Amino acid sequence: MRIGFLALSGIRVIDPDLAMIGLNLPGFVERSKVIASLPSLGLLTLAGLTPDEHELRYLDIPDVDAPDLIARLPGPFDVVAISSFTAMIKDAYRLAARYRAVGTKVILGGLHVALCPDEAATHADAIVVGEGEPAWPHVLADLARGQLRPRYQTTAPYDLAEAPMPRFDLLDVSKYNRLTIQTTRGCPWNCEFCAASIRLNPKYRTKPIPKVIAELHRIKEIWPVPFIEFADDNTFADKRHGHALCEALAAERVRWFTETDISVAQDDALLRKMRQAGCAQILVGLEDPADGLEGMELKSNWKARQRAHYLDSIRKIQDHGVTVNGCFVLGLDTHTEASFDRIWEFIQQSELYEIQLTVLTPFPGTPLYERFLRDGRLIDPLAWEKRTLFDVTYQPAHLSVEALRKGLLDLASKVYSTEFTDFRRRQFIRRKLAAEDRAA
């Protein structure tokens, strides 16, 4: 079969004022360029599970509505596999319709499909709900026999010891400024708003280190000195795995970025190893420096219990030469007009190297979405295209929608201004040098 693996690329903001700010602020533009360019690891993984007898192509589709799209793209394909996140799902459905109109079978999978399977099923010949690896061989076999089923559902947690080698070789690597490797899946915590891989399967799993290193070696064959982003939700939740991962990476001379939680600050030896292993930055969900954390993590209120250590933890991690990208969520139920100033004060005090500001976003399939739906607080429950993490899609508890929008815009203009961006970078270097002096 000729199989096309199709990813929707780029990042999205609907609100024109927010898009404008993106065009004007240096820190923001820089970040957007960096994060917009990544291939779909989910599709490359499925391609890695596809037997050699099939002919494969991987394509990033920048504009699904472009005239003559299908005629201009490589192909034709017997079947296309399309991946989904919520913000671009309507684009994915339009792309699916265009392919189905020319007789190509369409398989849809990914996070949004897992969260809204009944909706997705109306746009595809088959959908895969949950993790893709266990289902994909069945999809291929059923396609070959002409007996495709409309729905494939996976529930048991996929064992990452079985993980296939993603087909990085299908990429035109000159188009990307970093490539992804997944070293863990899931997260031990369960935050009310989280719409990441715990929604595919809640079990936290680690990939055997030799497999991670083999993936890195495969990437180095096409890109000798790559920059790597780990496509993990919480790389260092399992400290033993984290130590072993860093020890193995130390020999690789590669720079990398990942997402993890603030608990890395409690492990000095791990911080030293992260630095030696080439860790450039960790992205940490701080969410709120005040009482908005209360009740956010649903298993044991874990997030709220970390708050008292935030400032010390950030300093300690950065003193080890690893920059922290601190993420804040605006519009939590405790937030009032005063919260924006409080977050701004905390950011200044923290000396965080990088900051991500997003608006609380009720993604479908999350406990947050269910709560807001129940309470009648969703502005347009099915406006999936607005689930961008920047657009306001619900009625905040103690703010108007406009006040939240404006609060984000004002805070973003302060945080991403040239002056403050320069200040943050200078502070980081100053503190790092001082820490190195102390250590010498």
Which parts of this chain interact with ligand B12 (CB under 6 A)? Answer: 7-13, 35-36, 38, 40-43, 45-46, 81-83, 85-88, 107-112, 115, 128, 131-133, 136, 180, 182, 195-197, 200, 231-233, 259, 363, 388-390
Nearer to ligand B12, 175 or 426 (CB): 175
Longest dimension (CA), the chain: 68
Give the shortest CB-338-to-ligand B12 separation in angstroms: 26
Nearer to ligand B12, 380 or 436 (CB): 380
- Residue position matching structure tokens 């080890």: 320
Strands 279-287, 255-260: pairing kind: parallel
Residue 231 · residue 181 · CB < 8 Å: yes
Give the shortest CB-439-to-ligand B12 separation in angstroms: 32
How would DSSP label each residue in 1-39? -EEEEEEE-S-----HHHHHHHHH-HHHHHHHHHHH---
* 277: Cβ contacts below 8 Å, ≥ 6 apart: 245, 246, 247, 249, 250, 252, 256
Residue 428 and residue 310: Cα distance in Å, rounded? Answer: 16
Running DSSP on this structure, what letter comes out for residue 362? -
Residue 125 and residue 81: Cα distance in Å, rounded? Answer: 10
Number of C-beta neighbours around residue 238 at 10 A: 16
Nearer to ligand B12, 152 or 428 (CB): 152
Name the residue among 282, 414, 408, 272 with its Cα closest to residue 337: 408
The C-alpha angle with vertex 139 and arms to 133 and 141, in degrees rounded to 5, equals 115
Three-state DSSP state, 370: helix
Chain residue at closest Cβ approach to ligand B12: 109
Give the shortest CB-340-to-ligand B12 separation in angstroms: 20
- Residue position matching structure tokens 């993590």: 297
Nearer to ligand B12, 79 or 432 (CB): 79
Give the shortest CB-434-to-ligand B12 separation in angstroms: 33
Nearer to ligand B12, 350 or 393 (CB): 393
Nearer to ligand B12, 259 or 351 (CB): 259
Residue type, 297: E
Nearer to ligand B12, 112 or 307 (CB): 112
Nearer to ligand B12, 111 or 228 (CB): 111
Give the shortest CB-323-to-ligand B12 separation in angstroms: 17
Residue type, 135: A
Give the shortest CB-310-to-ligand B12 separation in angstroms: 20
Nearer to ligand B12, 76 or 157 (CB): 157
Give the shortest CB-153-to-ligand B12 separation in angstroms: 11
Give the shortest CB-185-to-ligand B12 separation in angstroms: 8
Q: List the beta strands (DSSP E) in 192-322.
A: 205-206, 227-230, 255-260, 279-287
Give the shortest CB-99-to-ligand B12 separation in angstroms: 12
Task: Provide the token pair at 29.
Answer: 């533009």
